[in-house]
Amino acid sequence: MPGKSCVKCGKKAVVSLAYGPHSFCKQHFLGFFEKRVRRTIRENRLVEGREKVVVAYSGGKDSAVTLYLLNRIFGKSNPIEALLVDEGIPKYRDKALAIAERNCRKWNVTFKRVFFEKEFGFSMVDVMRKTGPKKLLGSTCAYCGVLRRQLFNSYAKKMKAGKLATGHNLDDEAQSALMNVFDADTARFFRLGPKSAASKGMVARIKPLYLCPEKEVIAFAKMQGIEFFEQQCCPFKWQAKRNDFRQMVSEFEAKFPGTMFSIVRFLKEAKELAGDKTKGKKLGVCQKCGEATSQKVCKACKMVERIVGKG
């Protein structure tokens, strides 16, 4: 970036952020990024006392940076552990989780790896074969998301986590907000935010990278020397509805820098205005698996039945 200088020290800038605009050298960008994460954690009280934090770690950039920073910030005061979910997607998840395990050992972080095959009796490859392009049983990505979330919650409870941290970044949050607006899904819209409220059977979830744009997460990981899986995306990702919203948000952000921050700020203000109306339904217990649900049988169990019940 010719001619740009760091706003902090005047040295040659290696990062330029159009929404500021800000330009930083390596040292000051790393400090800027970590300071924002620390502020997000502090202002939203994402981590308290000496509670254990379990990080949902996929091996990708976002969860890698989340684990790295939580361990760096709280490693001496709070137990920080990682939970790895293996959906059974060859040449994708196995490679990503190999990196995840290396990082956990490097950072001296205790981790646990769980498998779709063992938990549900099938892998995501099996799910793809029974959903596929025609989506006869629904979107493959929908199955993956629901089943992954159930495993993260159930094992976070077994690991006695006070909080479950995910790697959701600013792009993810802005995309999710718009998806829920387009679907007129106010319940899901109001459940968004940097922290979910703890409820019966559910471990509270936190998003330390809530205000971090995806491009900055990548830059931080590379400058900090954090290894992460950066080859192909999930081979089933082409089916996801989110792809269209990702493209839309990216185009608006490129044309109007700061768009994603505006979307998330609107979400925050809307929740404050709605007040008690944002509270969700009281949760009961699934009759089949014992996990929290607002119905008699949870969505995950219904999905498992559809897959297992189809030859």
- pLDDT, tens only, 116-171: 999 999 999 988 888 766 556 677 888 999 999 999 999 999 999 999 999 999 99
Mean of pLDDT values over 213-229: 98
Residue 268 lies in a domain: yes
Which residues lie across from 83 on neighbouring strands? 56, 112
Residue 311 lies in a domain: no
Same domain, 122 and 13: no
Q: How far apart are CA 91 and CA 133, in angstroms?
A: 21
Give the domain CATH number at 220: 3.40.50.620
Q: What is the pLDDT of residue 311?
A: 45
Same domain, 149 and 23: no
Q: What is the pLDDT of residue 235?
A: 64
Same domain, 144 and 189: yes
CB-based contact 29:44 (threshold 8 Å): no
| Chain centroid to CA 68 | 14
Mean of pLDDT values over 249-257: 97
Same domain, 111 and 8: no
172 backbone dihedrals φ, ψ, rounded to 5° = -60, -45
Residue 287 lies in a domain: no
Closest among 263, 237, 233 to 61, alpha carbons compared: 233
Same domain, 5 and 123: no
Reported confidence tier of residue 218, pLDDT bands at 50, 70, 90: very high
Same domain, 56 and 22: no
Same domain, 208 and 104: yes
CB-based contact 235:89 (threshold 8 Å): yes
Residue 217 lies in a domain: yes
Mean of pLDDT values over 71-96: 95
Same domain, 186 and 246: yes
Domain count, the chain: 2
Domain span including residue 4: 1-32
The runs of H, that is alpha helices, within the chain are 26-43, 61-74, 93-106, 116-120, 124-130, 140-158, 170-182, 186-191, 214-224, 242-255, 259-274, 299-308
Same domain, 174 and 97: yes
- Other beta carbons within 10 Å of 139: 14
Q: How far apart are CA 53 and CA 55, in angstroms?
A: 6
pLDDT at 110 over 80: yes
Same domain, 137 and 157: yes
Same domain, 28 and 53: no
Residue 291 lies in a domain: no
Residue 42 CB contacts under 8 Å (≥ 6 apart), including other chains: none
pTM of the model: 0.94
Same domain, 22 and 54: no
Residue 122 lies in a domain: yes
Q: How far apart are CA 37 and CA 46, in angstroms?
A: 11
Q: What is the pLDDT of residue 138?
A: 73
Q: What is the pLDDT of residue 142?
A: 86
Residue 306 lies in a domain: no
Mean of pLDDT values over 63-67: 98
Closest among 229, 240, 233, 207 to 102, alpha carbons compared: 229
Q: What is the pLDDT of residue 193?
A: 96
